[in-house]
Amino acid sequence: MLRFIFRRILLILPVLFGLTVIMFVIARVLPGDPVGLAAGPNATREEIEALAREFGLDQPILGQYWTYVSGLAQGDFGTSIFTRRPVADDLAAYLPATLELVFSALLIAIVVGIPAGLMAAIWRNRWPDYLSNILSVAAISMPRFFLGLLLQLCFAMWLMWLPLGGRFPIILEPPPGVTGFYTIDALLAGDMESFQTACRYLAMPAIAMSLSPLATILRMMRAATIEVMQQDYVTTARALGLSPRLIVFKYVLRNAISSSLTLIGLYFGWLLGGTVLVETVFDWPGVGLYATSAIVAQDFMPVVSVALVIGALFISVNIVIDLLYGVINPKVRYQ
Amino acid sequence: MASLLEIRDLHLSMHSFEGAAKVLSGVTLSVEKGQIWGLVGETGCGKSLTGLSVSRLVRTPPAEYTRGKILLNGTDVLTLDEPRMRALRGRRIGMIFQDPTTNLNPSFRISTQLIDVALAAARHDSKILGLPATAGRWARRQAARRLAIDMLTEVGIPDAATRVDDYPHQFSGGMRQRVLIAMALVGQPDLLIADEPTTALDVSVQAQILDLLKQMVTVHDMGVVLITHNLGVVAQTCTHVAVMYAGAIVEKGPIRAVLTDPAHPYTKALMQAIPRRDVARGALQGLPGAVPNLVQPPAGCRFAPRCILAQPSCSKVPAEHERAAGHLVACPVVQAAHHA
Amino acid sequence: MIERHLSNKRSARAEALRRAFYRFRQSRLSLIGAAMVATVVFFTLFGAVLAPFPEHVDGGVDTSNRFSAPSLAHPFGTNELGQDVLSLVMAGTPVSVSAGFAVVFIGSVLGVIVGALAGFNGGWIDDVLMRFSDLMLTLPSLILAMAVAAALGPGFGNMIIAIALAWWPGYARLVRGEVLQAREEVYVAAARAIGASPFRVLFRHILPNIVSPVIVKMSLDMGFAILTVAALGFIGIGVRPPTPEWGTQLSIARSYMPDFWWTAVFPGLAMFMAVFGFNLLGDGLRDVLDPRARR
């Protein structure tokens, strides 16, 4: 088991290496004038050249790449040419916000999607199934940013139940940082008031993010359940007098979830990359918003680093999913 | 005293795209404790549907019971609702199916699956666990586990106390079928329905499983319906045999009577199609023709279109006549010849 | 003999088509999807022509008539420049749909080439191409598209290239898998046995047989491509006004919520309906053309 984990972790390294190469090529080969943009419209030629020298942008591309990668090995993600802050510091500040958002969205999607998919399969080809089918296609088709705007219009502007955007009131002190997740930190500190506040800020962006994975998990779960219900062992269980409730909730559920699990892993990556839009709509201070502002400024280091971190997280989550799969499916575990 | 199982004139239609297929038309069969009935016939003749009907595992619709009764200890199961039917499954009727690799849930330990069946059966009869009805959850669970281990030992799983916590894929095919037999017997059923229990197994393992079945009948005082397409299996195992063709039983009776004196042309054809050492090379005979379309079956005897003895009188539904004690044949031509 | 074989093949194909069409008609949702897509295509062709205020589509403004609420004259109201929102939404259809189609088309062509090369050749070519596709799949596609689009600068063509660059790996994986499977089929072995060149085997025998899953993926991807185009517009890295684009319209209208909600809601709804239609249709097509994927 430990060996398996170790080997999988070793396999991440070449992937990360590949990611840096691709992002570097994109950022350097494509046209664009980051130095000019960063220096501002009134900068003189000398100022621009000085800036380029300061950030090593006058070096040949291989040299620049070497500097970046050797920095990475020491946990140095480079410096933003625009904010002049180390990218690692920014990431440390923004990443927890994004992760909190993504995990909340995934949690909603799983908690609602799995039972709903199970129900759709049980009532297959009857109205709950048809309804869930239409709704899930609609959910997949809904642009997240438009859904976010509608939620804002409804719950923040008209009903005024929830805050319009942001992560925590500026005038208040966020809960003491342990995990970086405000909700969990508030619970750890036993501060129920902060917890409620954090949840109110989290609610709309998390729902807007969750809809599409929810629908996909629902459909996957439905298909998997229908397939499992047709297996011989379900007939045997029925023939030997087990109650339908026991069959569905104990025997079918476990098998169906294990086949939906891989999908959840894939969706995690999709969600991480897709926070950009929701973070923009809700002013959520995460890496998506950070990457967007960096992209607009053609500020290269943050973009490469965000892509790298998201890629690494994506792979790690899928390793975790592989391990979980082994826990649920004994056949894999013993091989 | 009512028979253990009595199927009377069972008719079953299957509604499909092409119309209603009359898949069972007048199945009559009676099984007593201690008897092992072999139900033989080719694929699609309705033998599996007959077995599933006893447990009411045929989905209605698309299926529909148009006539007949299935009496289990005198109660017609066709009139029972689902909860009362569930009380019979596992407890009164045990079932074993063909493929031991797909009939055990791969994601759960053997113990979990056996204990759940035992607990379900004990809900309807607490004596199964040897506990008073008032026993607590934990006590029942422990008793069910002990019962599971005893049952596995009985069906010949070595070292059952440790193997009980293994997963299905850790057992060989034959061992898995033993586990399934243990699972079917854990509720101490009166009737065991075994649907092709040895078809998916190696020949050497087949014989062991059949011996185990025979042994279980004497130990547990059950009646068995053994569904198979293999007359050899029947000859080796059963006390009685019923031959089915296209949804009806054409000949039935004690094994010795039927096998030494087969009367129905279909039974004869079946027996000629068995390869034996004493049959000369090239003398093995197949049966020309194909199974009839059950949406529009031939009127009268369904075997008539393939039958070498067919006569005008075959256009009426054949009545059974008793050829010898308990040996019944549904063929007017043979009947006429017998009485002549 | 050969002729009879061919005509048999043709009639079998016609029979399969008839069946497919029957199955498609059975599903009411796919029919609704087809109708919605037909509407979208109609507006793609005629939206700009039929717009009630074509001068607004071309960038004309009517400052005396800013932010008027939906009325008979302006069913979707007017925006901050007094432009008719209905006209802009109608004229936005061809922009989004053609961009979405271009993305899916370029992405699928690239993906088919890569996937076919990898699957057909195997060996190190397969290894290199597939490792590369996997890498691209690991990258967050939206951020990648944003980065490329920002570097290339605003513009319709640049935006399409940027999205398509992030789009092909999915097709490459799909096609490679299908080619690997098809390579083992008897008809391919037969074609090889009678001496067909590898090129001919690939293009005449293998690729025509993997068209269905690619078409299904294209139809399912169409909606997502339109969404991605709109997303880039919304972020502000895509086409620029006055080109009428739904995502851009939405991002501008955002600052005028909640009082002038119509400027945001109608472009958003148009986007949603177009994507919904393509997704329903794609689902139906998958059920019909790719029965293996059907559950």
Mean pLDDT of C52-56: 77
> What is A167-230 written as a DSSP string?
SS-TTSPPPPPSSS-HHHHHHHTT-HHHHHHHHHHHHHHHHHHHHHHHHHHHHHHHHHHHHHHT
CA distance C24 to C18: 10
Q: Give the highest mean pLDDT range of A187-191, C77-81, C274-278.
A: C274-278
Domains of chain C by residue range: 2-293
For residue B9, what are its two tokens? 């004139």
User: Would the pLDDT of C6 be above 90?
Assistant: no
> Whole-number mean pLDDT of chain A?
82
Mean pLDDT of B273-298: 71
> What is A65-105 written as a DSSP string?
HHHHHHHHHTT---B-TTT-SBHHHHHHHHHHHHHHHHHHH
Yes or no, beta carbons of C152 and A31 under 8 Å apart: yes
Q: Specify the pTM.
A: 0.80
Between CA B120 and CA B127, with CA B121 as vertex, the angle to 5 degrees is 125
Mean pLDDT of B65-90: 87
Mean pLDDT of A276-292: 89
> What is C239-259 written as a DSSP string?
--TTS--HHHHHHHHGGGTTT
Cβ(B95)–Cβ(A240) below 8 Å: yes
> Whole-number mean pLDDT of chain B?
84
**Omega prior to C242 cis, within 30 of 0:** yes
Mean pLDDT of B93-98: 88
pLDDT given for residue C77 in this prediction? 78
Chain position carrying tokens 């080109």: C243
pLDDT given for residue C295 in this prediction? 39
Weakest-pLDDT range from A246-250, B160-164, B197-201, C24-28: C24-28
Share of chain C above pLDDT 70, in %: 90
**pLDDT classification of C102: cutoffs 50, 70, 90:** very high
- How confident is the model over C249-284, as pLDDT tens digits? 888 888 888 878 888 888 899 999 999 999 988 888
Q: SS3 sequence, A95-138?
A: HHHHHHHHHHHHHHHHHHHHHHHHHHHHCCCCHHHHHHHHHHHH
Task: Pick from A16, A135, A136, A137 the residue to mutate for testing the C interface (most C CBs within 10 Å).
Answer: A137
CA distance A82 to A87: 11
Instruction: Give backbone dihedrals phi and psi of A172, rounded to 5 degrees, phi first.
Output: -100, 155
B11 DSSP β-pair partners: B25, B67
Weakest-pLDDT range from A30-44, A49-63, C170-184: A30-44
User: Would the pLDDT of C286 be above 90?
Assistant: no
CATH number of A92-334: 1.10.150.530, 3.90.220.20, 1.10.3720.10, 3.40.50.10580? 1.10.3720.10
Cβ(C83)–Cβ(C53) below 8 Å: yes
pLDDT given for residue C105 in this prediction? 94
Chain B residues touching residue A241 (CB < 8 angstroms): 86-91, 117, 120-121, 124, 187
pLDDT given for residue A208 in this prediction? 92
Cβ(C61)–Cβ(C83) below 8 Å: yes
Q: Which tops the pLDDT comparison, C192 or C176? A: C176
CA distance B291 to A280: 69
pLDDT given for residue A335 in this prediction? 43
CA distances from B197 to A235, B178, B225, C5, C220 (A): 15, 10, 11, 44, 46
Yes or no, beta carbons of B187 and A241 under 8 Å apart: yes
Quote the strand ranges of chain B, DSSP E.
Answer: 5-16, 19-31, 36-40, 63-72, 75-76, 93-96, 191-195, 223-228, 240-245, 248-254, 321-324, 327-329
For residue A75, what are its two tokens? 């946990």
Cβ(B101)–Cβ(B94) below 8 Å: no
Domains of chain A by residue range: 2-73, 92-334
User: Would the pLDDT of B279 be above 70?
Assistant: no
Cβ(B327)–Cβ(B261) below 8 Å: yes
Chain position carrying tokens 């293994």: B166
User: Would the pLDDT of A23 be above 60?
Assistant: yes
Tell me which chains share at least 3 CB pairs under 8 Å with chain A.
B, C
Cβ partners under 8 Å of residue C152, min gap 6: A30, A31, A32, C158, C161, C162
pLDDT given for residue B340 in this prediction? 60
Q: Which tops the pLDDT comparison, C15 or B329? A: B329
Between CA A17 and CA A26, with CA A21 as vertex, the angle to 5 degrees is 150
Between CA B175 and CA B177, with CA B176 as vertex, the angle to 5 degrees is 90
Yes or no, beta carbons of C279 and A137 under 8 Å apart: yes
pLDDT given for residue A205 in this prediction? 93
Yes or no, beta carbons of C235 and A277 under 8 Å apart: yes
CA distances from C217 to B64, B278, C208, C238, C292 (A): 42, 62, 15, 25, 14
- How large is the ipTM? 0.84
Fold of C2-293: MetI-like fold (1.10.3720)
CA distances from B125 to B88, B139, B240 (A): 10, 15, 31
User: Would the pLDDT of C192 be above 80?
Assistant: no
Quote the strand ranges of B185-277, DSSP E.
Answer: 191-195, 223-228, 240-245, 248-254
Question: Which DSSP state fits A255?
Answer: H
- Of the CA atoms within 13 Å of residue C73, those in its CB half-sphere come to 8
pLDDT given for residue B139 in this prediction? 85
User: Would the pLDDT of C90 be above 50?
Assistant: yes
Q: Which tops the pLDDT comparison, B292 or B67? A: B67
Strand order in the sheet with B19-31: B19-31, B5-16, B63-72, B75-76
User: Would the pLDDT of C9 be above 60?
Assistant: no
**pLDDT classification of A1: cutoffs 50, 70, 90:** low
Chain A residues touching residue B187 (CB < 8 angstroms): 240-241
Residue C136 contacts A, CB cutoff 8 Å: yes
Query: Nearest residue of A to residue C147 by CA position?
Result: A295
pLDDT given for residue A101 in this prediction? 92
What SS3 class is residue B322? strand
Q: How many CB atoms lie within 10 A of CB C203?
A: 12
Mean pLDDT of A288-292: 88
CA distances from A151 to A144, A146, A165, A215, C85 (A): 10, 9, 11, 18, 21
Residue B189 contacts A, CB cutoff 8 Å: no
CA distance A291 to A297: 10
**pLDDT classification of A331: cutoffs 50, 70, 90:** low
- How confident is the model over A213-242, as pLDDT tens digits? 899 889 888 888 888 888 888 888 988 888
Q: Which tops the pLDDT comparison, A295 or A2? A: A295
Burial of C62 (0-12, 13-18, 19+ CB in 10 A): middle
Q: Which tops the pLDDT comparison, B194 or B275? A: B194
Share of chain A above pLDDT 70, in %: 91
Yes or no, beta carbons of B105 and A255 under 8 Å apart: yes
Interface of A with B (CB under 8 A): 231-233, 235-243, 246, 250-251, 254-255, 258, 328-331, 334
Mean pLDDT of A97-124: 90
Mean pLDDT of A303-311: 85
pLDDT given for residue A207 in this prediction? 92
CA distance A321 to A319: 5
Chain position carrying tokens 């995934």: A106
Interface of C with A in 61-100 (CB under 8 A): none
Question: Rg of chain A's alpha carbons, rounded to an integer?
Answer: 24
The CA dihedral of C62, C63, C64, C68, to the nearest 10 degrees, is: 80
pLDDT given for residue B158 in this prediction? 87
User: Would the pLDDT of A198 be above 70?
Assistant: yes
